[in-house]
Structure formats: C-alpha cells, structure tokens
Amino acid sequence: MSIQQDNIKKLVERREKARLGGGQKRIDAQHQKGKYTARERLAMLLDEGSFEEFDMFVQHRCTNFGMEKSHVDGDGVVTGCGTIGGRLVYVYAQDFTVSGGSLSKTMSEKMCKVMDMAIRNGAPLIGLNDSGGARIQEGVDALAGYGEIFERNILGSGVVPQISGIFGPCAGGAVYSPALTDFTVMVKNTSYMFLTGPAVVKSVLGEDVTSEQLGGASVHASKSGVANFAAENEEEGIRIIKELLSYIPQNNMEEAPRVATSDPVSRVDDTLNEIIPDNPNKAYDMFAVINSIVDDGKFFEISKDFAKNVIVGFAHMNGRSVGIVANQPKVLAGVLDINASRKAARFVRFCDAFNIPLVTLVDVPGFLPGTQQEYGAVITNGAKLLYAYGEATVPKVTVELRKSYGGSYIVMSSKHLRSDIVYAWPSAEIAVMGADGAVKVLYAKDIKDIEDPEEQKKMAEEKKKEYNELFNNPYQAAQKGYIDDIIEPRNTRFRIIRALEELAGKKQELPAKKHDNLPL
C-alpha cells in the first residue's frame, strides 16, 4: 500500500470514528432514552445527501481535571450546512454522547462559525439543542463561549431566520440562545428548559418539582410561552421545523417562496355571511373564518397552546405567504391581555422583519381588566403590540369582523397605525365601548332620576338602541375614511388577496435612527 493510500485509509477510518461521537455504548444509551443522536437528527432534517459538515476534527483544548487524556473528534457538536426542500440552511446539533453535550470553548467556536456563515450568506440557522450546559472543567472559557453564541444570535436577529429545536436538556445560561431565536420547538417528556434546576429550587425555596414540571415542553408551550411548539416526539419536531421554513424567506432581503395552488382567488364562502351570531355576547370560532379564506384551508398555527384568546400563524393566499393575527371570540371573548399582547407582538415583528404581509382579523371587546393584569403591566405589554403594528412597514390588511372597542380597536392594526387597507363586515361595531357600558356612562343620571324601575329599564333599552344605531355598525368609521370599504363576508378571501396584490410593491421607510426603544 502506498503512502497516499495509507493516508486515505486513515482519513476514512478517522471519519468513521468521528461519526460515532462518544461511542456506540453512549449512542445506545441515547436510544434507550427514546432520543436520536445529533447526526440522526440532521439526517432527518436535511435533504438526503445534502449535508456538508464543517470542523469534524476539532478537539477541545482543556487540560484541567484530566481532560487532556480524553479527546473526541468534533467534540460535542456537529455543524455544517445542507438543504431543506432544496433551500440552503446552516445547522448545528449538539451531541449528548460526548461529555453530555456540555459546551466547551471549541464547541462554541464551531457553532459561531456556522452562525457567521448563515448571516454572511443569508440563509436560515437551525440549532438542535441537547446539552448538559457549560463544561465545568473549562470554567470561564465555557461561559465566554456562550457569550459569543448569544452575540451572534443578537446580530443575526432580523437578518436571517433562527430556529431552535430543544431535543434534550437545555439549562442555565444555555437557555438564552433559544430565547433569542425566532422560534423554539420542544419535545414532550424528553426536553426541558430552565435557568435553575429542581435541586436548586428545592434548596432555595423548599419546593419539590420535577424537570418536566419546572421546564418541560408542555409547561413552556402553554404557561410561559417560551416554546412555540411542543412536539409529541422528535420526528414531529423535525417535521414542524421543515414546515415552518416553507413559509419564511431565506433572509431579510428576500420574500418567502410562492407556492402553486389550485384554490381560486375568487372563491366565495356563503357560510361567512351567517357566522356572526345575532347575540353580540355569543361566541363563534375564528378558525372557521381563517380556514375559509386561506389557500386550501391550510393554516400553520404558532404557539397554539399559549394565550389562546389570540391566534397567530402562517398561511398562503394565492400562493403568497402571509402572517395572520386574529382575536378568538371562543376564548375570553377574544380580549387582549398580557400574554396575548406579547404573543402577537413577537409574531408581528417577525413578519415585518422578514417581508411577510400581515392579515389581521378583528373581533376584540377590549383589554382584560383586573389587578392581576394591571400589576403585571398590561399597559406596557399592550403597548408592545401597538408598537409592533405601528412600526411594521410590510403590507397590512385588516378586516373588522364584529367588536372593535376602545384602545383595542387602535391596537389591532387600525388605519391609524398605518394599516394599508382596512375592510369591515356589516356586523362590525367600532366604538369606545359597547352599548351597555356607554349608556351607563352617558345616561346614568337621567335613568337614576326616573323613579319607576320599569321606566328606567325602558329608557336604558331605548338609549342602547340609539347608541347601537349610531356606533355599532361600520358606517360611522367608513364615513370618516377609517374603513376603506364595507364588504360582504363571503367575498373576504377575494378582497384580501386583491389588496395584497395591490400592495406587493409597497415601499415605506422609518425615520432614521440608531434603533427604536420598544416598550419592554
């Protein structure tokens, strides 16, 4: 065998060994937990044969605590690029079989390299997290590594889409990278996120709590809102990431890819003419409206288990990707509260950053009252949504379906926040408040002065009718130009699509500034 052939043989053998990470025994242990390895996850995520790996032979440089005696090629993370549906993405997948996936300085350097490449080359970044945290043996070097990663998450924010998959532990400082990315997918029962673990909670607060109860996928998807998706298993988690990518562009200079559809632009749905109940206090399902107007009835919901009184997600309309924000009358009557405002504001800002038009469906009676909301800063949180809509320069189309009261009318992408086209259904009620509240304010003294209770009731009903005739219809707002047109509900799909086509070339700039000061 020639020297060249011998060198090639050694390269092939070393590659094969590197692909085993921490070795077959640890791979088997990973499988026994119901988890895939880093490379298996990337194989599921990327188009077959498209993965181009970087830094396979990088090793840690730690010489403390006997670490110099143990080296694994690639260390604890697999990095590189590949394609998903033929589109370029940059990826890293932490390898739990190597030192529990704990972060070393060299691991952070590998991750930072692909993050820099994603930003420089304008392609999405996907990080698959499965790590025990900082590598204790490396001390401040490991902490420095996290800091370098976070800085790139920040610099890349709004430049390229960033998606985090939590497929195992993600604790301590490690949680801040997913928190800085655009979307986070967790897996039920095998992944968790928290700043301080159950042992610390027990010692400091005396509270007994499991990892799943403290920071499991279901907790973060429904209670904290930290996770946008809680997948049943890793396969579903990978599928979610792929589907999510299909709605978003490669970077902030491009538009999302258009897709072919056989769903006619002019399709009408007569059921929408009947969907609003005669009783203004009766609920209906906003999903029925959304599914009626989008292409093929297909809607990809984001954060479906969190703040259910507002709905956000992606769809296609005539093949064009759109972001949809809608109040849900079935949950808390569709009111805005702290969590709903945060959820919607974050989504609106993502769509604006990545050139995705916004379609807003409004049926909102106001903001949720009470000390819990006020003490929790509902004012500031509501202002986040107000700010997000007011700042957004992408095409914005709004449809007022029913209630649109008070400050919540303004917040939900009104004409006053530079919404481009605002439609209203004939059932729209645009006013400072509903008739009951208005009559109590406007005619309280007049009604009180009447001694007969029956006459009081009669007058109250008459005044409510007057108020409804004056304000609880869209014509007052339309007369003032705040509504561009009042439309038949059955034609909603056609009118929105035509508006989006009209706005396709929209150009709108913000005043020159270093950056804004969003109410946080």
The pLDDT tens digits for 216-264 are 999 999 999 999 999 999 999 999 999 999 999 999 999 999 999 999 9
For residue 69, pLDDT over 90 is answered with: no
Cα–Cα distance measured from residue 402 to residue 277, given in angstroms and rounded to the nearest whole number: 10
What number is the average pLDDT over the span 279-304? 96
In this predicted structure, what is the pLDDT of residue 454?
A: 79
CA angle 234, 310, 348 (to 5 degrees): 80
Is the confidence at residue 419, as pLDDT, over 90? yes
| 390 vs 479: CA distance, rounded Å | 23
Q: What is the mean pLDDT of residues 301-321?
A: 98
What band does 62 get if pLDDT is binned at 50, 70 and 90? low
Torsions phi, psi of 166, nearest 5? -100, 105
Specify the range with the lowest mean pLDDT, choosing from 159-168, 225-234, 365-374, 429-438: 429-438
Residues in the chain: 520
Final residue before a domain boundary, out of 194, 229, 245: 245
Domain co-membership, 298 together with 423: yes
Q: Which residues contact 228 (CB under 8 A, 6 or more apart)?
A: 183, 184, 185, 221, 302, 303
Mean pLDDT for all residues in the chain: 92
What percent of the chain lies above the pLDDT cut of 90? 71
**Which amino acid is present at 252?**
N
Beta bridge partners of 53: 80
pLDDT score at 63: 66
pLDDT at 449: 75
Looking up tokens 């409510």 gives: 464
Q: How is residue 367 annotated by DSSP?
A: B
- 299 and 415 share one domain: yes
Q: Is 128 within the bounds of a domain?
A: yes
Q: Are strands 162-166 and 183-187 parallel, antiparallel or unpaired?
A: parallel
- Tally Cβ neighbours within 10 Å of residue 456: 15
Rounded to whole angstroms, the maximal C-alpha distance in the chain is: 112
Asked if 53 and 78 count as a contact pair (C-beta separation under 8 A), the reply is yes
CB–CB of 298/498 below 8 Å? no
Structural contact between residues 133 and 145, judged by C-beta atoms closer than 8 angstroms: no
Q: Which helix (H) or strand (E) holds 317?
A: strand 310-317
Q: Residue 371 contacts by C-beta under 8 Å, 6 or more apart in sequence? A: none
Judge if 309 and 377 occupy the same domain: yes
pLDDT at 447: 77
pTM attached to this predicted model: 0.94
Identify whether residues 467 and 484 lie together within a single domain.
Answer: no
> At 366, is the pLDDT very low, low, confident or very high (cuts 50, 70, 90)?
very high
Q: Is 126 in a helix, a strand, or coil?
A: strand
Residue 512 maps to a domain: no
Q: Does 518 reside within a domain? A: no
Query: Same domain for 456 and 352?
Result: no
What pLDDT is stored for residue 305 in this prediction?
97
Report whether pLDDT(10) > 70.
Answer: yes
Report the distance separating Cα 399 and Cα 320, nearest Å.
Answer: 18
Q: Are 307 and 360 found together in one domain?
A: yes
Does residue 189 lie in a domain region? yes
Distances (CA, A) of 489 to 369, 427, 496: 31, 9, 11
Task: Provide φ and ψ at 78, rounded to 5°.
Answer: -105, 125
Instruction: Report pLDDT for 21.
Output: 75
Residue 456: both structure tokens together: 């009081």
Mean pLDDT within 178-195: 95
Structure tokens belonging to residue 1:
């065998």
Confirm whether 515 is domain-assigned.
Answer: no
pLDDT tier for residue 483 given thresholds of 50, 70 and 90: very high
Q: What is the mean pLDDT of residues 30-42?
A: 93
From residue 201, give the alpha-carbon distance in Å to each of 210, 221, 227.
10, 21, 21
Same domain? 208 vs 231:
yes
| Residue 364 shares a structural domain with residue 497 | yes
Q: Other CB atoms closer than 10 Å to residue 117's CB: what's the count?
A: 17
Q: In the numeric block, which tokens belong to residue 281?
A: 């206090």
Cβ(423)–Cβ(485) below 8 Å: yes
Burial 37-46 (b: 16+ CB within 10 A, else e): bbbebbeebb
Q: What pLDDT is recorded for position 150?
A: 95
> Does 282 lie in the same domain as 176?
no
pLDDT band at 61 (very low <50, low <70, confident <90, very high): low
DSSP-derived letter for residue 47 is: P
Residue 291 scores a pLDDT above 90: yes
Dihedral through CA 83, CA 84, CA 88, CA 89, nearest 10?
Answer: -100
Q: Which CATH number does the domain housing residue 483 bear?
A: 3.90.226.10
Which residues are CB-neighbours of 453 under 8 A, at least 6 positions away? none
Q: Are 57 and 12 members of one domain?
A: yes
Q: Are residues 187 and 43 in the same domain?
A: yes
What pLDDT is stored for residue 467 in this prediction? 81
Domain membership flag for residue 261: no
- Kindly state whether residue 23 falls inside one of the protein's structural domains: yes
Query: Over 70: is that where the pLDDT of 68 sits?
Result: no
In terms of residue numbers, what domain contains 387? 270-433+473-502
Percent of the chain with pLDDT over 70: 98
Say whether both 98 and 200 belong to one domain. yes
Tell me what pLDDT residue 65 has: 66
Q: How many domains is the chain partitioned into structurally?
A: 3
Do 59 and 75 meet the contact criterion of CB atoms below 8 Å apart?
yes
Residue 260 in any domain: the answer is no
Nearest CA among 360, 226, 239, 232 for reference residue 303: 226
Q: Which of 28-42, 85-99, 291-305 has the highest mean pLDDT?
A: 291-305
Task: Give the H/E segment covering residue 166.
Answer: strand 162-166
